[in-house]
């Protein structure tokens, strides 16, 4: 097996909760060595985000912290802060999600780190940037709310809803990985490190895709539409005899095939539904006609008919069913990290030239502290006193 492309890269991870830890975990999957700096006594906030509990902490913590080493350092303690600065001076990547400017007093801000380690890629993840929004707290739920995502999520006649997972944190994590990899490539070419900044609000806005483009093109605010698509029909959930299914008709040909598969070819001949634009304009009548036909057909039968006709469709499933589907398709969605820990969702990308690192369990708090302190070495008294 060829080692991952980030073998030999050292990541000093000062981040907490989900966005930063997810980013560093994916870097570890690619071969980087990740040293996770945690608060003494409590560790990462997510260690207490339970129930449910798993391994040495919570199932939440387990989701973002495999393949890491843990050291507990109190940055308010001069000795520990000096160790942290030594770690940052040795690192290829420094990752943090503190409020902008709060690491300056420990000598761990971007400028201080790059004075001692000019090749470092320093990545900051904030909620609203390091300028006018630096004082605002960066929580996924808050950003979903003020960033507009909740306004387009939920039923058309209901209150705004958050997505069922901390999606903005994960989008920002992926942006952080992209930024770090680009900066490492730049360093390889020039020898120069740099400061990479990612903020949750920008990651969300960049992911609004057609909804953002619709606003920019028209000036009108998109609205929540439940499971319906603002520009395509039928592209939504439909009720069948014994449950719900999702159908994603992306062309007129697929719509004609859908109508035939459900035994209602007259719908395809109806002028109201001749084109996608027509179907969007007459959505209520369209859905009424489709669900009238589906009322006599069980979900699995309807899905089978649609797939046979080349119409994208599937049962609305729960998470256990989703893992079962991925397993049945040979996608191998899970990896084992050892006894006493639940399985992990595998690294989502497959590579033809190498295999992601064999995962190890998320560490107990300060599990590697003793060895790492020896590796970092005791700082001299002058460095501790002067904060160098």
Active-site residue set: 169
> Please, which residues have CB within 8 angstroms of residue 74's CB and are 6 or more apart in sequence?
39, 40, 80
372, 73 in Cβ contact below 8 A?
no
Phi and psi dihedrals of 287, rounded to 5?
-65, -40
Phi and psi dihedrals of 382, rounded to 5?
-65, -40
Q: How many whole angstroms separate alpha carbon 264 and alpha carbon 80?
A: 72
């Amino acid at each position: 097996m060829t080692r991952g492309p980030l073998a030999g890269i050292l990541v000093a991870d000062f981040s907490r909760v989900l966005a930063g830890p997810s980013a560093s975990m994916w870097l570890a999957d690619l071969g980087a060595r990740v040293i996770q700096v945690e608060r003494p006594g409590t560790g990462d906030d997510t260690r207490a985000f339970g129930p449910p509990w798993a391994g040495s902490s919570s199932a939440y913590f387990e989701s973002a912290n495999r393949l890491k080493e843990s050291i507990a350092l109190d940055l308010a303690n001069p000795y520990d802060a000096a160790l942290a600065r030594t770690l940052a001076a040795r690192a290829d990547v420094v990752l943090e999600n503190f409020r902008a400017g709060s690491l300056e007093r420990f000598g761990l801000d971007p400028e201080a780190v790059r004075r001692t380690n000019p090749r470092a890629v320093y990545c900051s993840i904030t909620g609203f940037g390091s300028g006018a929004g630096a004082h605002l707290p960066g929580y996924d739920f808050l950003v979903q709310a003020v960033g507009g995502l909740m306004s387009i999520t939920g039923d058309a006649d209901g209150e705004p809803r958050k997505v069922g997972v901390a999606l903005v944190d994960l989008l920002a994590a992926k942006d952080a990985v992209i930024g770090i990899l680009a900066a490492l490539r730049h360093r390889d070419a020039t020898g120069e490190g740099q400061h990479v900044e990612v903020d949750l609000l920008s990651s969300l806005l960049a992911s609004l895709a057609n909804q953002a483009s619709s606003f920019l093109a028209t000036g009108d605010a998109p609205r929540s539409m439940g499971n319906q698509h603002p520009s395509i029909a039928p592209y939504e959930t439909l009720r069948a005899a014994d449950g719900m299914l999702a159908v994603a008709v992306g062309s007129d040909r697929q719509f004609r095939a859908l109508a035939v598969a459900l035994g209602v070819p007259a719908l395809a001949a109806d002028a109201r539904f001749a084109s996608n634009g027509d179907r969007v304009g007459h959505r209520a009548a369209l859905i009424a006609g489709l669900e009238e036909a589906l009322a006599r057909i069980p979900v699995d039968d309807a899905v089978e008919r649609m797939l046979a006709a080349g119409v994208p469709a599937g049962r609305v499933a729960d998470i256990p069913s989703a893992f079962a589907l991925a397993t049945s398709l040979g996608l191998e969605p899970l990896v084992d990290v050892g006894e006493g820990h639940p399985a992990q969702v595998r690294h989502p990308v497959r590579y033809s030239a190498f295999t992601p690192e064999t995962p190890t369990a998320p560490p107990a708090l300060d599990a590697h502290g003793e060895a790492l302190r020896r590796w970092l070495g005791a700082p001299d008294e002058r460095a501790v006193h002067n904060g160098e």
